[in-house]
Amino acid sequence: MSNAITGAITVVLADDHQILRAGLGRLLSAEFDIEVVAEAGTGIEALEALRRYQVDVLVLDLSMPDTPGMDLIKRIHSDFPAVKVLVLTMHTEDQYAVRAFRSGASGFLTKDSAAGQLVEAIRKLAKGGAYVPSALAERMAVGLKDLQDAPPHQQLSNREFEVYRHIVAGKRLTDIADELHLSIKTISTHKARIMEKLGVAGTASLVRYGLQHQLFQEYALDPAWMLSLPPEALPNGHPTASN
């Protein structure tokens, strides 16, 4: 489905940060065999671009403002099965990669590795392959050997994991409901199911579990976020911003 005239791999860049899209566009414009046919700042815009153009690879940020990333991947995989989805995200935790592949993605990259690996990843997906950085692939392979001993958070659905991420970020349930376009009752139900599956009670315990299992490192690396936590949310021995 490459460009019929030039034979180039056709790409759509979907990220809510215009500056990042511009940088990626400049990076790809230097490649003779890759053509960026459209950019998208929301999930809706990404879907519109896929309807309008013949696209080989969609480079997709998981944190789109209007649609949860995993839901968007599933939608694309269902409605545009010929399009390969390459996830490009700030989330470095293996859990995001596992869930992205389960949802239908064909590749996974973190934004800090994009400059050195994006072109290679796009070319590999365009040829029908999959792409994951070697270090991540090794960790995922090791994890597959221990499926019977999988931690409780792997039982969470994609929606529950998304709600969990927002809770850990300190957002109120009403704000989460607005952002995910769900009712407050639905969000409350998700929170109850998350606590049941993880075997914890209360928001502080949810945060502590996330820290113990290194699920949301983008928050743990923020000193202001760490200082905002109540003492009961911190695992014993977990470093605080003052350490």
Tell me whether residue 186 is in a domain.
Answer: yes
Round to whole Å and give the CA distance between 9 and 138.
Answer: 28
Using alpha carbons only, give the angle 66, 126, 99 rounded to the nearest 5 degrees.
45
Q: What per-residue confidence (pLDDT) applies to 144?
A: 53
Q: What per-residue confidence (pLDDT) applies to 24?
A: 93
Query: Domain holding 175: CATH number?
Result: 1.10.10.10
Domain boundary among 143, 170, 203: 143
Tell me whether residue 124 is in a domain.
Answer: yes
The token pair at 175 is 């704000």
The model's pLDDT over 110-136, given as tens digits with 9 standing for 90+, comes to: 888 888 899 999 999 999 999 988 777
For residue 12, the surrounding DSSP H or E stretch is: strand 9-14
Tell me whether residue 127 is in a domain.
Answer: yes
CA 126 remoteness from chain centre: 21
- Same domain? 135 vs 186: no
Work out the pLDDT band at 85, boundaries 50, 70, 90.
very high
Tell me whether residue 48 is in a domain.
Answer: yes
Domain count, the chain: 2
Tell me whether residue 4 is in a domain.
Answer: no
- Same domain? 111 vs 180: no
Domain boundary among 121, 143, 165: 143
Q: What per-residue confidence (pLDDT) applies to 170?
A: 83
Q: Which domain holds residue 224?
A: 152-233
- Same domain? 84 vs 13: yes
Round to whole Å and give the CA distance between 96 and 89.
Answer: 9
User: What SS3 class is residue 37?
Assistant: strand
Please determine, for residue 72, whether its predicted confidence score (pLDDT) is greater than 50. Answer: yes
The model's pLDDT over 188-226, given as tens digits with 9 standing for 90+, comes to: 999 998 998 888 888 888 888 888 877 776 665 555 666
